[in-house]
Amino acid sequence: MTRLNGKTAVITGGATGIGLAAAQRLIDEGAFVFLFGRRQDVLDAAVADLGPNARGVQGSVSDEADLDRLYAAVKAERGTLDIVFANAGVGSQLKLGEITAEHIDETFDINVKGTIFTVQKALPLMGEGGSIILTGSSAGTTGAPAFTAYSASKAAVRNLARTWAEDLKGTGIRVNVLSPGATATELAKAALGEEGQKVFASMTPLQRMADPAEIGAAAAFLASSDSSFMTASELAVDGGLAQL
């Protein structure tokens, strides 16, 4: 398919997991993609795998100066921007009674503040027909044991789309949330462990975790004109986990 021919995209957290799978799908459909991530070696490997329509920019969404460098690179090479996939996120387990201020600060700095400034700093490059995609989570709807900070941060992300759809009225820019369930990414494997992955798979009506490519396919749909009458929506790609 070539429904994204000529489009320019930014994907934060783009060098691994859902971000990398989405980058591959967007490139396969004709887009030029800038990956943004914290580890230069991982970015370099991802760009090498993705080919000539990928670029890597190192930095953290929690650092505004890094985001400024990202969008300066986009402007210098491409001029404008059509798709922003604000996908960077963190999540780790701490039970109520064990939560620390540092844990809260790290989670919200990346998942909420990072999402806000990723989008806000992109807007000067975007115009009518632009698509903003925010990575939510089934945990933002259902909660998850020992994931207080993560679940609350993803509930906040869901509300950002509702608020920004109001703020973006008249611009022709859409904003939607893509909410995966349990997905077999590096982050999930580290956070859940082998036993935790089995538990989440068993809780899902489809009885398995998602492949990152399945989430990437949904991101391509939200990026394309196939979703042209969608804004402020949440697209759950969770195997039914948060739907029953």
Q: How far apart are CA 148 and CA 125, in angstroms?
A: 35
Per-residue pLDDT tens for 72-81? 999 999 999 9
Count Cβ neighbours within 10 Å for each residue of 211-231 and write b for 16 or more, e otherwise. Answer: ebebbbebbbbbbbeebeebb
- Whether residue 186 lies inside any domain: the answer is yes
Q: How far apart are CA 158 and CA 3, in angstroms?
A: 27
- Give residue 193's pLDDT: 84
Helix (H, G, I), strand (E, B) or coil at 177: strand
- Whether residue 141 lies inside any domain: the answer is yes
- Whether residue 1 lies inside any domain: the answer is no
Per-residue pLDDT tens for 187-213? 778 777 888 889 889 989 999 999 999
- Whether residue 244 lies inside any domain: the answer is no
- Whether residue 242 lies inside any domain: the answer is no
- Whether residue 233 lies inside any domain: the answer is yes
Number of domains the chain contains: 1
Active site residue ranges: 150, 154
The CATH number of the domain where 206 resides is what? 3.40.50.720
Q: Give pTM, 2 decimals.
A: 0.96
What is the full DSSP assignment across 61-128?
A: TT-HHHHHHHHHHHHHHHS---EEEE-------B-TTT--HHHHHHHHIIIIIHHHHHHHHHGGG--T
- Whether residue 243 lies inside any domain: the answer is no
134, 176 Cβ separation under 8 angstroms: yes
Per-residue pLDDT tens for 99-110? 999 999 999 999
- Whether residue 2 lies inside any domain: the answer is no
User: How much of the chain, in percent, has pLDDT values that exceed 90?
Assistant: 89
**Residue 83's domain spans which residues?**
8-237
181, 204 Cβ separation under 8 angstroms: yes
